[in-house]
Amino acid sequence: MSDWRRITLGDLAKSNGCTIQTGPFGSQLHKHEYQADGIGVVNPTHMANRRVSHDSVPCVSADVAARLSKHQVRPGDLLFARRGEIGRHALITESERGWLCGTGCFLVRVNSPESDSTYLSFYLSTDESVEWLNRHAAGVVMPNLSNTVLQRVPVALPPLPEQKKIAHILSTVQRAIEAQERIIQTTTELKKALMHKLFTEGLRNEPQKQTEIGPVPESWEVVPLSDVCRFQSGGTPSKRNPEFWAGTIPWVSPKDMKRPRLADVEDHISQEALESGSKLAPAGSVFVVVRGMILAKTVPVALAEVPMAINQDMKAIVPGPKLRSDFLLYALEALRENLFKKVGRSGHGTCTLMGHEVAAFKIPLPDLAVQVEISSAIQNIERKKELHDEKRKQLQDLFRTLLHELMTAKTRVHALAL
């Protein structure tokens, strides 16, 4: 690392006739000057993953931008959030040329022949840089980043060719992550569209009939869950007994309900704990959250692939012989909005899905052979999404490792076999 140079961000900017400056004050840019289109104004809410999001960016007229020309940005500039999530920043690209640095940002301009702006952006997003900024930021409830602190942040600069290679490698991995995210988003939308089509039109293009849950194929029934399922409640074993929480039985709570199928979860309990404070739901049960603040946004559902216990904020729906577990899962996903309408809200904000509402909830019901075909078609898409979720996770792990190794010179780019 002997060929690396250590310098502060402020000195790097000043040595090239550039500065670190705040965005315009509120008295310089008034709310009434914003408009639907024109020249964008970047604030911290528009910055994520070192990029500027173009969604819902407020705009101003060319006249306003000209009046505030000293705050206009150029490709290679860095914008830092002044408060809140310290370390959040974005690298300006050609598509944001001429936009304005917003009131809540610092504008960092470094036109240096010895530094690459993409490298700088990656370097300043390392855990070490973000931790340094947070240690020196003022305030606890709402941390504030000052110009002085930002100027003092340390930067390590390898030779320029190495900076460019590091930036290229990290940018390549980041683009691969973004490609996986686009596929995941497309697959999610495809699954939703397919479920809607299959649960309203079926597989055979048969005539539809109108029901209280909407159109369904004419040969299908519409039944309440109580006709084809049984229900189990859950509980929480005593937290005072650590031996209860050292077992092998998965114990599900709402925090685990982030994916459609559960093969394992974070918490596990012992057989003694199960007998004293919970109950085992069989594999194939479909869990639904029935109490908690998550119900203010959605109703999570998931299928248990192995026997599992649940806490008191969950309900296990156990299908009978006329209903397949996977078909029930997808039916509840397809009709999630209907289920969400059944959520009650108390005066102090608690959200609850009552047991009788779950029992009375109606789903469409074809014969078992059709259930198999529909579930198989949906699960094929679900598996594709899971595959790309795993690829994204691997790439994110690779990115974090490379970011740390390359920025600390533990790995040099010439030593990488890519």
Between vectors from CA 82 to CA 79 and to CA 85, what angle results, nearest 5°? 95
Return the structure tokens found at 196. Answer: 């809607």
In this structure, are strands 286-289 and 308-310 parallel, antiparallel, or unpaired?
A: unpaired
The alpha helices in 82-146, defined as continuous H runs, are 117-123, 127-136
Architecture of the domain defined by 5-157 = Alpha-Beta Complex (3.90)
pLDDT in single tens digits along all 418 residues of the chain:
678 999 999 999 888 778 899 999 878 888 889 998 999 999 999 999 999 999 889 999 999 999 999 999 999 999 999 988 999 999 999 999 999 999 999 999 988 888 999 999 999 999 999 999 999 998 777 889 999 999 999 999 999 999 999 999 999 999 999 999 999 999 999 999 999 999 999 998 889 999 999 999 999 999 999 999 999 999 999 989 999 999 999 999 999 999 999 999 999 999 999 988 788 999 999 999 999 999 999 999 999 999 999 999 999 999 999 999 999 999 999 999 999 999 998 766 789 999 999 999 999 999 999 999 999 999 999 999 999 999 999 999 999 999 999 999 888 887 776 5
Asked whether the beta carbons of 240 and 283 are under 8 A apart, the reply is no
Residue 21's SS3 state is: strand
Residue 392's SS3 state is: helix
**CATH numeric code, 221-365:** 3.90.220.20
Same fold for the pair 5-157 and 221-365: yes
Asked whether the beta carbons of 40 and 57 are under 8 A apart, the reply is yes
Domain ranges of the chain: 5-157, 221-365
* Spatial separation of the C-alpha atoms in residues 180 and 168, rounded to whole Å: 19
Residue 230 to residues 106, 312, 361, 373, 407: CA-CA distances in angstroms? 59, 17, 13, 24, 57
Residue 142's SS3 state is: coil
* Spatial separation of the C-alpha atoms in residues 296 and 344, rounded to whole Å: 9
Question: Tokens 């340390």 label which residue?
Answer: 154
> Which residue pairs, CB below 8 angstroms and at least 24 apart, start in 258-267?
258/300, 259/302, 260/301, 260/302, 260/303, 260/329, 260/333, 260/382, 261/302, 261/303, 261/305, 261/329, 261/382, 262/287, 262/302, 262/303, 262/304, 262/305, 262/308, 263/305, 263/306, 264/306, 265/308
